[in-house]
Amino acid sequence: MPRKKNDIEPPIASPSDNNAPAKSIHNEAKESSDEQLITTAHPQKPKQQRKKRKKKRKLSPIDKLKKVLKWLLFCFLILIFALLFGLFELWQKGWLPTPEELPKYKERLLIMFHGYYTSTLPQGDVIGIDISHYQGDIDWEELSFYVDRRGNLHRSSGKKRKARDVDFVIAKATQGANIKDSYYNDYKAGARQRNILFGAYHFYSAGVSATIQADNFIHTAGLQNGDIVPVLDVEPYKNQLPKQDSVYHWLQIIEKYYGVTPIIYTNEKCYLDYFAPQSRFRHYPFWIARYGGKEPSRHHIMWQCAENGKVAGITGPVDINVFRGTFEDLKHKHTIK
């Protein structure tokens, strides 16, 4: 049949054209499987489920200040708690000062921070000092009190200052069983050269035989007629006091050896709690330490009024003592004969 011009011949399919659609389907299947693998390995969350990172808000200066103040308040409370706990522990162990001892602690603090020494001479007819190796070398030629019109003490002479003699000196001789003060012999020689009334004391140690301690004092002190009677220093040492029987035994040994009644040195609290309740100590003369300008109202013949006095000839602080009575009373009643 003859063909017309408008007739379009259908394309003839070649063998290669028959495979084209199958290849395309295969590729699509492969790509689909690959996408499934990618999706399985790296699942993507919907946008509404994604967690957005929170941006840190910048603190304002006021917020920063509040934060700092909170930390400071916390540290302050911890410090206060630690301080109260420490004070409670000290109170339990008896290491806090009593009201009578507060003036002494006040003077020590003033010395530590201001180099303060007792600046006035106490009122009294007979005033002396007690010394030990803590005072070091002493210029005995210069040893005296220099007092101005207001009663203030000075270590050197000057305008409108009067020199006042040191009436007596009591030096530490021994302590415990075998301790001997390294400056004792120099002090004894210096005082006698200046013709100053001289005495010696023994610092009593707890837990050591009274007989051994008495022998240590007798063989070291070398006291003679005209010297002040022996003095026994009894006070807490390392938060411990000796037994009263032991102290009394030492006093008896010394009293028998020298033929005089020894003097007992102690602080006011120790006198009230340790000595006063026992009648066997009542006939002994007492030398009581009390600082702050107020004299003890208890039974005593001598008052240690300061431990930080100024004395010419001594570079550091020194104890100042007032005898209750005249110089003749001291020589007549409380010296070796």
Please report the pLDDT score of residue 298 as a whole number. Answer: 74
Indicate the SS3 state at residue 103: helix
- Residue 49: inside a domain, yes or no? no
- Would you list the DSSP string of 29-53? HHHHHHHHHHHHHS----GGGSPPP
- Residue 59: inside a domain, yes or no? no
Answer for the pair 148, 310: CB distance below 8 angstroms, yes or no. no
- Residue 287: inside a domain, yes or no? yes
- Residue 239: inside a domain, yes or no? yes
- Residue 190: inside a domain, yes or no? yes
With a CB cutoff of 8 Å and minimum separation 6, the contacts of 102 are 292
- Residue 311: inside a domain, yes or no? yes
Q: Is the per-residue pLDDT at 323 higher than 90? A: yes
Sign, Cα dihedral of 155, 156, 159, 163? positive
- Residue 44: inside a domain, yes or no? no
Ranges 55-59, 131-135, 141-145, 147-151: which has the least confidence: 55-59
Residues in the chain, overall count? 337
Query: Cα–Cα distance between 152 and 307 in angstroms, integer?
Result: 16
What CATH number has the domain bearing residue 210?
A: 3.20.20.80
63-72, 149-158, 267-276 — which one is most confidently predicted on average?
Answer: 267-276
Which is more confident, 293 or 291?
291
Please report the pLDDT score of residue 133 as a whole number. Answer: 95
Which is more confident, 66 or 94?
66
Tell me the one-letter amino acid at 171. Answer: A
Domain that holds residue 147: 102-333
Cα distances from 52 to residues 42, 44, 135, 265, in angstroms, run 19, 15, 79, 84
Query: Cα–Cα distance between 195 and 181 in angstroms, integer?
Result: 22
Per-chain mean pLDDT for the chain: 83
pLDDT tens for 90-118 read 777 666 666 655 555 555 555 554 444 55
Q: Is the per-residue pLDDT at 17 higher than 90? A: no
Q: Is the per-residue pLDDT at 167 higher than 70? A: yes
> What own/partner pairs with CB < 8 Å and gap ≥ 24 does 304-307 have?
304/130, 304/265, 305/122, 306/107, 306/118, 306/122, 307/104, 307/107
The pair of three-digit structure tokens given for residue 255, joined into one six-digit string: 């009293």
Task: Over range 13-27, report the average pLDDT.
Answer: 50
Which is more confident, 102 or 119?
119
- Would you list the DSSP string of 242-286? --HHHHHHHHHHHHHHHSSPPEEEEEHHHIIIIITT-GGGTTS-E
Q: What is the DSSP letter of 4?
A: P
pLDDT tens for 176-190 read 999 999 999 999 999
Q: What is the pairing mode between strands 145-148 and 153-154?
A: antiparallel
Confidence of residue 31 (pLDDT cuts 50, 70, 90): low
- Residue 22: inside a domain, yes or no? no
pLDDT tens for 241-282 read 999 999 999 999 999 999 999 999 999 999 999 999 999 999
Please report the pLDDT score of residue 115 as a whole number. Answer: 47
Count structural domains, the chain: 1
The pair of three-digit structure tokens given for residue 133, joined into one six-digit string: 């190796």
Query: Cα–Cα distance between 204 and 242 in angstroms, integer?
Result: 8
Please report the pLDDT score of residue 109 as a whole number. Answer: 57
State the DSSP H helix or E strand holding residue 330, giving kind and residue range, or none if neither: helix 327-333
